[in-house]
Amino acid sequence: MPEHTPVEIFNALLKLGVDSGASDVVVKTGSPGHLRLSGKLNAVEMEPFTKETVEGFVLESVPEVFRPTWKTNSQIDYSYVVEGMGRFRVNAFRQRGTVSVVFRYIKNDVPTLEGLQLPAEPILKITNVKDGIIIVCGATGSGKSSTLAAMLNWINQNLDRHVITLEDPIEYTFDDRKSVFQQREVGLDVPTFELGITSVLRQNPDIIFIGEMRDRITFETAISAAETGHLVLTTMHANTVAQGLTRLFEFFPAEEQTLARRQVSNTLRGLICQKLIPTLGGSGRVPACEILTADSVVKNLIAEAQTEKITAMMETGTDSASFSFNRELLRLFKANKITKADAIRFSPNPQALDMNMKGIFFKT
């Protein structure tokens, strides 16, 4: 009986992952495959991956245009599609002289806000604007890409917009409904991220989706686009809204902070930060969001560098458009969707949340 090829071995593992509901599949030379189920890593009962199998898969699956990058940098991001199964975001890299590969499964169907169990009303209030900047924050694996895909899906179903995306790599793919989508993948459709971001304003967009706010050039382009009537959606690695606001200004030296704050206060429309919390039964995860809607009060506080007051307002206010993680965790706990222990564990201020659960709240 002939031996299975590297692609056949990997595809079998990926199918097991998809059938099991895994969000990620982790492969390391010399070890069996691992599936991430409900946030937890589980080993698969199989023979350890050989060096030849892992290297053979990467060489066969990586797009030809990326092969020089893989050879030079020993790491690469790309998309991998299995017919009848779906699309995967792939990161291949070398560690201790051998190759490892991590897959993130991207479902064929573009998600909806309701399907992701996200608070649709405040998110749509942010999304349904003509211009400005919207940022979705969270740690790796917190569902940022899915949330933004759901927001773009709503735009596609309801608004006539020209949407240009710049992604590395493309994750969800959109069929044109009311909107027209142009999805550009770095390395395949445009040589570099920098070239794509500097040319996007010449492509007549209404909405620009930037995969990640990664540097000053990206941020300045986003501000320029927002100031000239475009809507920019992007992501950032931050654990809270306050941390996200702080990180925005780290792109600028001290002497430029005042101007940067004025620009952000004028262009920011909303900031969403999220975490995935284990459900009460332990069979899945539910998102908990912290949302800041940039109204006139928030804009003034941003311009005046009063981040602490913004945090206090989200924590103690009653506005349904802006609320803290603690308010959302308390809501999920009262709705019997998460346990008290997990609510406390994922809270940025567990002592305050514990008091809230006892009916004790502080007013500003």
Across the range 274-292, mean pLDDT stands at: 92
Q: Which of 163, 124, 139 is nearest to 270 (CA)?
A: 124
CA 130 to chain centre: 22
Model confidence at 2: pLDDT above 70: no
What's the CATH code, domain 120-357? 3.40.50.300
Higher local confidence (pLDDT), 36 or 315: 36
Name residue 231's beta-bridge partners.
132, 207
Q: Do residues 195 and 171 make contact, with C-beta atoms less than 8 angstroms apart?
A: no
Q: What is the pLDDT of residue 1?
A: 30
Backbone CA torsion sign across 23, 24, 25, 26: negative
So what's the pLDDT on residue 316? 81
CATH class, 6-106 region: alpha beta
Q: For the residues 133-142, what does the mean pLDDT come to?
A: 94
pTM of the model: 0.86
Distance CA 152, CA 31 (A): 39
Q: Please give the C-alpha separations between residue 222 and each of 46, 48, 133, 135, in angstroms, as whole numbers.
A: 47, 46, 7, 11
| Mean pLDDT along residues 346-364 | 87
What single-letter amino acid sits at 138? G
Q: Is the pLDDT of residue 161 over 60?
A: yes
pLDDT reported for residue 216:
87
Say which residue, 40 or 180, is predicted with more confidence: 180
Q: What is the pLDDT of residue 364?
A: 55
CATH 3.30.450.90 domain range(s) in the chain: 6-106
Ranges of CATH 3.40.50.300 domains, the chain: 120-357
What does the mean pLDDT of the chain come to? Answer: 93
